[in-house]
């Protein structure tokens, strides 16, 4: 059965041009209707016959509140699933509650402006496709939990079902952590990796300190973190340290304006592919899309000096790429990069990102297309 999206346009009438554009271009069926028709008996009978995997309802976020509680209660009664089939459309950024989105309590999409810009239409369509994929995986998982165990008669079958459920859980977790355009880790996943890496680094420093306590070579822990100053010995080059790299595509708006948003997406996909290239980065390096045209890398057990190697290899490979749009001359893109090392004295794990970001903006303000190291600059 073809997948369907039903948009309730109450309080969203000015966005009808956007919805009509989505309706024309989406690979799923899209219907736009007022709130009264949505609750008609005719549509209720129709909805009841549809597979939950194949249907989503989108409406203005305010309709989900007390004023129209029957919408949420009615949908939850029919589609009582791990992922409810509801997409809330946000018309003002201050209405987005990050905790709700990050924790998966609600599916939200920020619609800005009634002009159906190609990028906005594409982003909306990609997001709805992602929701459909999540819905399929979640419902498969729920079906296993509620139905499969009725047929389990021995421990061997139980083990097989357990493995299948674990596989579905891993697939669902991976989808929730992956950026749909570049196939890199998304912002939420990168913050989880940053938290894990900062805790691992502090444990390593504690172990070194405990091991060397009272020893003659305890000076290994006495070092100046300024750029270019090496600790006594090589141990702290690779243990009790990690580095963060922030990447921003230079003049990305100009690429979109000159060559179109589809070519802009192609640039981001190419950068995503390079960031996953294991001839440039190590297996242990963690790369993700931070948002828009900004990317982030976490290099475990690596100081800023050693992080320059993969950063320079990435820049070199990107410079060799030509992008071509029909009827226009080929063009190249460059990036600005900021790098900083995690400090044991950091008050929070986010401080290393702020430093790398500061170095990135220094690079952009001083001509772009370069790598800046915070510890060298400041």
Active site residues: 293
Both tokens of 95, joined, read: 């209405």
| DSSP codes joined into one string, 52-107 | GGGEEEEEEGGGGSGGGHHHHHHHHHH--SSS-SEEEEESSGGG--HHHHHTTS-E
What is the Rg, in whole angstroms, of the alpha carbon atoms belonging to the chain?
A: 25
- Angstrom distance (rounded) from CA 135 to CA 75: 14
Say if residues 179 and 289 touch (Cβ distance below 8 Å).
yes
Q: 279, exposed or middle or buried, with CB in 10 Å at 0-12, 13-18, 19+?
A: exposed
342: CB partners within 8 A, 6+ apart: 197, 198, 201, 241, 242, 243, 244, 349, 352
Q: How far apart are CA 258 and CA 325, in angstroms?
A: 10
Nearest residue to 346 (alpha-carbon basis) of 259, 274, 240: 240
């Amino acid at each position: 059965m073809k997948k369907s999206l039903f948009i309730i346009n109450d309080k969203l009438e000015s966005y009808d041009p956007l919805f009509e554009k989505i309706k024309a271009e989406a690979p799923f069926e899209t219907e736009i209707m007022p709130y009264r028709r949505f609750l008609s008996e005719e549509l209720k009978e129709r909805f009841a016959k549809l597979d939950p995997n194949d249907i989503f309802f989108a409406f203005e976020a305010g309709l989900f509140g007390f004023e129209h509680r029957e919408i949420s209660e009615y949908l939850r009664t029919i589609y009582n699933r791990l992922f409810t089939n509801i997409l809330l459309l946000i018309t003002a950024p201050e209405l987005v509650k990050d905790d709700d989105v990050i924790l998966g309590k609600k599916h939200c999409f920020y619609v800005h402006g009634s002009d159906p810009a190609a990028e906005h239409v594409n982003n909306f369509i990609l997001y709805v496709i992602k929701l459909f994929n999540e819905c399929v995986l979640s419902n498969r998982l729920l079906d296993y939990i509620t139905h499969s165990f009725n047929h389990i008669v021995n421990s061997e079958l139980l083990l097989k079902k357990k493995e299948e459920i674990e596989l579905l859980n891993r697939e669902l977790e991976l989808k929730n952590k992956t950026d749909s355009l570049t196939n890199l880790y998304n912002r939420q996943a990168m913050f989880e990796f940053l938290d894990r890496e900062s805790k691992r680094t502090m444990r390593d420093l504690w172990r070194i300190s405990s091991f060397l306590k009272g020893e003659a070579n305890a000076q290994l822990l006495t070092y100046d973190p300024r750029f270019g100053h090496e600790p006594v010995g090589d141990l702290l080059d690779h243990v009790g340290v990690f580095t963060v790299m922030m990447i921003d595509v230079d003049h990305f708006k100009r690429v979109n304006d000159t060559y179109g948003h589809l070519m802009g997406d192609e640039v981001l996909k190419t950068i995503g592919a390079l960031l996953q290239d294991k001839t440039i980065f190590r297996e242990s390096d963690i790369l993700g899309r931070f948002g828009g045209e900004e990317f982030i890398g976490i290099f475990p057990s690596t100081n800023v000096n050693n992080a320059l190697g993969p950063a320079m290899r990435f820049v070199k490979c990107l410079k060799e790429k030509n992008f071509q749009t029909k009827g226009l001359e080929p063009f190249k893109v460059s990036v600005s990069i900021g790098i900083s090392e995690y400090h044991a004295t950091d008050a929070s794990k986010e401080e290393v990102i702020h430093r790398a970001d500061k170095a990135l903006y220094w690079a952009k303000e001083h001509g772009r297309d370069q790598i800046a190291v915070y510890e060298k600059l400041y």
